[in-house]
Amino acid sequence: MLNEPVKGKINDFEQFLKLLEFLGDNVLFKLRCGEDYIVFCSEQGEFTTISNGTPITVQDLKKKLSKWMLTEKKEITFTIIPAVDKCPDGERIYKNDLINIIESIKYIRQIPARFTIKILNENKVPHILKTFSKHPVEREVILNSSSLSLLDLCKLEKEGAIKIEKINLMDRIAPLFAGIAFIFIVAAAVISFFPFGRTIITYLKLQEIENEINCKRILKYKIPEILPVKDAFLNRIYYKNGELISPGPDRKIGTKDDIILKLPDLQGSSLFVIP
């Protein structure tokens, strides 16, 4: 048993683990990181943990230690105070369980900032983790989760219940490649259909001006051979021998790909008589 308080610094949690194994009963162990601290009160083989004067749960302890482990350039100091009378009321944790938690801390830094979780043993995994496993996970999300900590992930992976996998560059750009491929496929389909589509649009254009041309024919207006209207191939539309003609894709009139709309014969038709 210690007779006087002992103070010191630790560089990693391996040293913290050795201190825990060294500690006997009836002591206060104060661990400080920056302005935050945790007090471990040992009594008859069990620990109560206190943060800023208030007892905290084991889950809160895991979350706090997880954040400390990822904190850069902050010294962790400890103070051991012997011979306490009684620990405050709060959730208790056995020394061996606390040691198991501390042993898992060393794996936290191996967890990448973004990762996927593969379930290997569903019986050992909490339901919330099954939800997390469906999508890529940000480390910050776990740090801020109220029901799960990074230490829980470390422990489950150590037990073989899950596997944490880093998302590499190919995993990140695969969805991008898929999106680009989809765009190319759609573009290819549109391009393959486009000539035919432009033919349809051109034919509709011919139908659109048909009534206007017929009206001019009835009124004996002079109709120019080359009309001031363009088709879908950006050709000027022709009027020749009672027909509306688009030169088509090759842009040459009188070839096989011409698009032709034959206009009705006005002579002898009762439909085209001026009242």
Provide DSSP, 211-235.
HHHHHHHHTT----SEEEEE-TTSP
Residue 51 has pLDDT above 60, yes or no: yes
How far is it, in rounded angstroms, from Cα 30 to Cα 16?
Answer: 11
pLDDT of residue 204: 83
Burial level of 172, CB count in 10 A (0-12/13-18/19+)?
exposed
pTM over 0.85: no
| Angle (deg, nearest 10), helices 58-69 and 150-158 | 90
Q: What is the mean pLDDT of residues 6-18?
A: 77
Residue 16 CA to residue 103 CA, distance in Å, equals 10
What integer pLDDT is reported at residue 267 of this predicted model? 65
Question: What is the per-residue pLDDT for 171?
Answer: 47
Cα separations (Å) of 186 from 152, 175, 200, 201, 263?
45, 16, 20, 20, 37
Neighbours of 270 (CB within 10 A): 5
Cα separation, 107 vs 155, in Å, equals 9
Position 273 scores a pLDDT of: 46
**Which range in 66-70, 156-160, 174-178, 237-241 is most confidently predicted, on average pLDDT?**
237-241
pLDDT of residue 73: 61
Please give the average per-residue pLDDT across 258-266, as a whole number. 85
**Sign of the C-alpha dihedral computed for residues 87, 93, 98 and 104 taken in this order:** negative
C-alpha to C-alpha distance for 200 and 184, rounded to whole angstroms: 24
How far is the C-alpha of 66 from the C-alpha of 63, rounded, in Å? 5
